[in-house]
Structures are given as C-alpha cells and as structure tokens.
Structure 1
C-alpha cells in the first residue's frame, strides 16, 4: 500500500468517525429535546416546573434579585455581542487564526437562528408574574441556549489553547460550565422561563455546538488542503 493510499484511507476513516460522532450527538440531542418538549406540552412537567420555581427562590432568597440579574446579564444580547467581538479580534489580530474568527459568529448566529425557529414552532408563553421584564416566547430559553453555545465554544477554545497551565485550563473550564448552569438557574428564579425551557435550551445549544464545531473543522481542513495543493490560491491568500 502506497503512502498516498494510506493517507487517503486515514482521511476516510477520520471522516467516517467524525460523521458518526456528529450523527450520534445530533440524534441524542434531538431525542432529548423532543422528550422534554413532549413532557411540556402534555402538561406532565407542570409539577416539576413549579417545584423548580420554589427551589430557586429558596436558593437565592428574596433579597438577591440584583445579583441574579447581574448573572443573567452575561447571556444578554449586548454582552454576548461585545464578548464575541473581543474573541474574534483576539484570534484575528493576536493569534492569527482566521478560522476561529469564523467559528465564533457561525456558532453564535446559528444558535440564535435555531432558537428563534424553535420558539416559533413551539409557541410556549412565558410564566406568569415575572420578576423582571422579558418579551417573546418561552420555549426553549434563549439565554440558556446562547450561553451554552457561546460559553461552550469558549470551553472548546480554552481546552485547545491553554495547554501549558493545566490547572488554569480546568479552572477556566469549570468556571465557564458553572456560568452556563447559573445563567439557566437565574432565568427560572426571575420567572421569565420554566425550568424545562432552560433544560431544553442548554440541550439544544450544546447539540448545535457539537455539530457545528466538527463541521467547521472539516471545512477548514478541506480548504487548507486545497490551498496547499494550489500555489496560486496560496499566493492570493498571502496577499
């Protein structure tokens, strides 16, 4: 077997493996999301959602709304846009990694688009008596889904780039994962979402993230290979 054929076979095996993982994640994500949505719209989740409201009130107390709103701000549109621009500029200017500058908006905008589409499909009203203002529909939670997408992507970037300081890498990963969880809990505390909205949002966000990243990496590999094999394209890219 020639070296070229071995490389080709290795690429095929890698592609099949990645495709199988993506397919499995997609199937599990969709199955989990559909299971939650069925419970919600069969009214089987009403007791669970009511218990979650009471639990978050006991967790934070009645006097902590200001702090809760500060936490939920980290998944607001204004903050996510600003944070995404900072990440894009970091990889574009300092790290010279153009594909990460593409990955950030694709993941974020894809998550937002998917969330809008799902809300339009399910049309679930928000809970009554919210503690803060909120507009639009409830299922799945936009804050929970976008935080899972954006901070999940940051977890991926931290894992791949913070290699020298392993302790700090896992501290950052843990902090980002905790932030995703806290944002979801605060949405329930503020009564702008049911707990099932938050669970579905996190599940949908992570599923989209785990599908988008391998596909973008595969696209990156294909395009880079094309540039390597075509000197004229590589020269234009350098210019």
Structure 2
C-alpha cells in the first residue's frame, strides 16, 4: 500500500513540475536558466563535437527508435509473449502521440541559433521524451527477461540512463531545444514509462499469487 502511495506521489510531483515549467517558460527566471545552460553547451562547440552529438541525437530520432522497436518486437514474438508485444508497440506510439499533443498545446517556438534545422514546436523535447520512454522500456525488458544478477542490472540502468541523458543534452548543444524543453521531455517521458511498466507488471503478475489458499496447502 505504501509503495503505491509513494509511486502516486512521485507521479503527481513529476506532472506538477512539468506543468510549472510549461506555464512559466516565458518568465525571466526560466529564460535565464535556459540561457545559462545554452551558453554552457555552446562552449563545447567544435566540428568534432558537432559530429558526435549529431550521431547521438540521431539515436533518439524516430527512424532509429523504430529500428530498435522492430528488434524488440521480434524478440517479443520469438518469446511468444503477446503482452510484451503490445507494450513494445505502445512504447513507440504513446509518447509520440502525447508529445505531439503537448507541443500543439504549449506552442513554444524553438531557439533561433540552431546548428541543424528543426521544425514544429519546442516544448517538450520529442527526442528526450521518446528516448526516455523507449530506451527506459528496453532497460526494463533486459532486467526483467535477460539479466538476473544485481550488478549487471545496475550496469544496464547506468548505460541506458547515460544514453538518454546524452540524447537530451545533444538537443541543447545543437540549439534545437531549450534546457527546460529537455527537462519537461524527461518528466513527461518518466510518467509514461512508469505507467507502462506498472501496467505491464500488473498484467504479467505470476499466476500463483492468485491461487486459492487451500490449493497452496495441498
């Protein structure tokens, strides 16, 4: 019971922080933060760094994530796990649909100094939100189905967290998103990811938990 309450509190806090950023991004405080982070990111600019961050940002594009989705989709079919197959599809579709709706609602224009062209609205960052959900779900699948020992599980979480963080930073470095766009993308993605994982866990709970008490004693 306490675990569910704690999770609900975290979800509410994430949603609240997302909304706070979304409705205050034009204030001097938020603008100041975005300018400071953008200035920090631009201090790394070089031809080599741009090449690296272009590669990293492409890992969060819909084409690459679709490719990875098809691999995970094939794995779920191989296992014959219909529930996992459904959630692999949801991990691709849900964040994209929600991100489009949020962009249309908040209608924040993108930064002007872009190293690569980017269209549509800026808030929240689609690359950040989509990569958080999908790669977070991949990490969950690896930990749940493939990696049983604690130490490798920690390595999986750290590596995927670094990948997601680098994709988010690449969007700031390339000048196509503000820091608060990326932060909001992570927050929205975190909410979606948690809900997907919890629903998946609920649907795949071991059947023995539901076995009547008298059968357990036979």
Structure number with the higher helix fraction is: 1
TM-score higher than 0.5: yes
After superposition, residues 36-185 of structure 1 pair within 5 angstroms as 36-58=21-43, 60-63=44-47, 64-93=49-78, 95-185=79-169
Please give the secondary structure, in 1, of the residue aligned with 2:86. helix
| SS of corresponding position for 1:185 | helix
Quote the offset at 1:165 in angstroms: 4.7
Provide the aligned length of Structure 1 versus Structure 2: 208
Where in structure 2 are there 5+ consecutive unaligned residues? 212-218
Counterparts of 1:97 and 1:48, CA distance in 2? 45
Gaps of 5+ in 1: 1-15, 229-239
Pair 1:25-2:10 in alignment:
yes
- Give CA deviations for 1:25-62 in whole Å, capped at 9, x if unaligned: 3312211101222331334211111111111122x332
- What CA distance in whole angstroms lies between the structure 1 residues aligned with 2:143 and 2:203? 21
Quickly say closer, same or farther: Cα 1:18–1:214, change in 2 above 3 A. Answer: farther
Higher mean C-alpha displacement, 44-53 vs 31-40: 31-40
CA-based RMSD of the aligned residues comes to: 2.2
The structure with the largest alpha-carbon Rg is 1
Q: 1:220 to 1:166 in 2, by over 3 A?
A: closer
Where does 1:4-23 land on structure 2 (aligned, <5 Å)? 20=5, 23=8
Give the Å deviation of 1:128.
0.3
